[in-house]
Structure 1
Amino acid sequence: MKPIQLPLRNFSGSITTGGTAQDVYSAAQAPKHSFVFQNVSDTAMTLEWDADAVADKGILVAAGVAYEMPPGVMFTGRMSVLCATTGKKFVCKTT
């Protein structure tokens, strides 16, 4: 069986305002097949879907750690990220 080839979309970026949630992608851009988010900074980040990310209420991604959706699971809607410090970078790739 030949593998399905899907275009990889890149939503990588950096925190524009520390302490304020920002969207990584919109609901219209939500992934259909796969998702990975890697915190490439030295500061923890929080992820949330369909709401603004809030510390201690979303998925915590520690510094240097990646989060990938479990097999068969794909959250819908926009994704928001929160980090305490401006300029911290993240990598987000979806299909």
Structure 2
Amino acid sequence: MAELYEPDPAGLAEVGRSPEMQAAMVGIATAAVSGIRAISPVKSGEYRAGFAVEPTTNIAGWKNEERAAARIVNTVPYASAVERKHRILSRISSIVESG
């Protein structure tokens, strides 16, 4: 007879905060930055070079628990203007979400 799966909420929460999960989130964000750089407009190259990945956490799940996450940032002062015009992050998020 097959065993039934019994979820372990504490164990799953631990996995969500683990260094391995943090590394996975940073890896996904780093791959996304490569894609962002490939489709970014280039005049001086500063915008393209201004992208970075920051490990962080967020609150998620039905219990609002802290989980590993990664944030993509751009440090050039005019990054928001480029995003409004070209929608780079919107375009790459569609690609990342689709796998």
Shared topology, TM-score over 0.5?
no
TM-score of the pair, normalised by structure 2 = 0.22
The structure with more strand, counted as a fraction of residues: 1
TM-score of the pair, normalised by structure 1 = 0.22
In our comparison, the structure showing a higher alpha carbon Rg is 2
Structure with bigger RCO (C-alpha 8 Å, 6+ apart): 1
The structure with more helix, counted as a fraction of residues: 2
